[in-house]
Amino acid sequence: MNIRVRNYHIDSYGHVNHARYLEFLEEARWAFFDRHGLSSLLENVHLVVALIDIRYRRAAVDGNELRILSHIKELTARHLHLMQTIELVHSGKTAVEAGITLMPVKAASGRSIRFPDNLLTSLEAFTT
């Protein structure tokens, strides 16, 4: 997924604010699920962020185009570990690297659950 940096993404230091990158990563995660037909399997399941490990490598500024790459690194019955990279399109250099751990939660109760079998099977097809 690509995102163009707009002036409202910029903080007083003249680059994308660290919190904005979290929004970019979240948008890319949902795009990943949509693109692979997984969103429809989340009707009664919320994917909750349990852990984020994020490394800021280079600043992005107004007008930069960013490419966000997402892939599933590890999958268990109760956790999904997703790796995401934000690249500066003009240089191909990495701006951000992030590891995100998601866990399934039952929408009705808010309690942690195992991935439903159909969702787990579908996610396994994308595990590297």
Domain residues of the chain, as ranges?
2-125
Architecture, CATH, for domain 2-125: Roll (3.10)
Catalytic residue (one of 11, 53, 62, 117): 11
Q: Which long-range contacts (CB under 8 A, 24 or more apart) does 43-46 make?
A: 43/107, 44/106, 44/107, 44/108, 44/116, 45/104, 45/105, 45/106, 45/107, 45/113, 45/115, 45/116, 45/119, 46/104, 46/105, 46/106, 46/107, 46/110
Res 94: pLDDT? 98
Name the stretches of the chain with pLDDT < 70. 128
Res 43: pLDDT? 86
11 included as an active-site residue: yes
Q: What is the token pair recorded at 18?
A: 């660290």
